[in-house]
Structure 1
Amino acid sequence: MNYFELFNLPATFDVDVAELSTRYRELQKTAHPDRFANASEQQKLLAVSRTAQINDGFQTLKDPIRRAEHLLEMKGVELQNETQTVKDTSFLMQQMEWREALEDISRSGDEDEADKLERSFKQYRADITHALQDLLAKDDVAATQSAADHVRKLKFMAKLQDELVRIQDAMYD
């Protein structure tokens, strides 16, 4: 299923989330199962299925990582259940530094260091996201493979961010 077609949006990484939300509400109005309360069982099941499809499409397109995965899937690259890791040595070294910083913050409870690390994560994600947007706009195999690596990096960064949030929550409790 091409969710961009479902929402009548161009298949690009840069999505107008406000427009996406508007189209989501419009689609929900037409397909909501309550509208089919007096319909046949088959029509009710189709409405439920269509609503689930609309919900999944909305969740996919509003999340940058899932949106990028969807765009890559449309180009024949499946990332959702893969086990391949990033082979970028500098990124692997950076991962180790970030993990050590998380451990240090967890032990010390240093709020300033936690804030500093959070800014570092945010800047890195912004840089990767910008590069990803450019790569996804290209239509060649090398750019697509590089885009897949960028998505893998963003997925890793999301896990690091979640870990940092858990540490910060524990510090502020």
Structure 2
Amino acid sequence: MNYFELFDLAVDFDLDTGELARRYRLLQQQFHPDRFASGSEREKLTALQKTAQINDGFQTLKTPLSRAEHMLALRGIELAHEQRTLRDPQFLMKQMELREALEEIDTPEAVLDMDVQLQSEIKQLTDALRAEIIAIDNDTAADTIRKLKFMHKLRDELERIEDSLMDSW
């Protein structure tokens, strides 16, 4: 399914998320299952399926990482359930260093410092991904998506660390 078509949007990495949200609400109103409560079973099922597609599409297009992954899928490069690993030793070394730094975090200030660092890394990778998507450099874009997934996992781990620090105070 092409979610850009579903929302009648141009296939673009830098889409207007406000416009996406507006179109999401319009589609939700149009296909909300309650509107088909008195319809046939087929109409009800179709409305439920369409609503699920609308929800999936919105979730996919609202963030740059999943949007880029969807764009590559439309180009025939499926990354969603792959098991391929990165072969960039420099990035993998940085990843290990960041994981070690995460293990040493024991103060709210250290959480903030790490968050600033991770946000900076994510921004740099997202900027690179934007250029790669525009240039239709699919293989490099795929590797950048893999790197961004690593960085987002690190941010998730940082949030868990922050939560556990808050709980212990």
TM-score (norm 1): 0.93
Q: Which residue of 2 aligns with 1:3?
A: 3
Task: Determine the C-alpha separation between the residues in 2 that align with 1:137 and 1:12.
Answer: 8
Task: Determine the C-alpha separation between the residues in 2 that align with 1:23 and 1:111.
Answer: 39
1:123 to 116, 120, 129: 120
Task: Determine the C-alpha separation between the residues in 2 that align with 1:10 and 1:54.
Answer: 16
Q: Which residue of 1 aligns with 2:140?
A: 146
Task: Determine the C-alpha separation between the residues in 2 that align with 1:117 and 1:38.
Answer: 54
Task: Determine the C-alpha separation between the residues in 2 that align with 1:14 and 1:26.
Answer: 21
Cα deviation, 1:22-70, whole Å, max 9, x if unaligned, reads 0001111111111111111111111111111111100110122211110
Task: Determine the C-alpha separation between the residues in 2 that align with 1:171 and 1:113.
Answer: 11
Task: Determine the C-alpha separation between the residues in 2 that align with 1:111 and 1:57.
Answer: 36
Matched to 1:132, the amino acid is: L
Q: Which residue of 2 aligns with 1:160?
A: 154
Q: How big is the alpha-carbon RMSD for the aligned residues of Structure 1 and Structure 2? A: 0.9
- Gaps in structure 2 of 5+ consecutive residues: none
Cα deviation, 1:45-97, whole Å, max 9, x if unaligned, reads 11111111111100110122211110010011110100111111110110011
Alignment partner of 1:59 is 2:56: no
Alignment partner of 1:29 is 2:29: yes
Identity of aligned residues (%): 51
Q: Which residue of 1 aligns with 2:129?
A: 132
Matched to 2:125, the amino acid is: I
Alignment partner of 1:103 is 2:97: no
SS in 2 for 1:84: coil
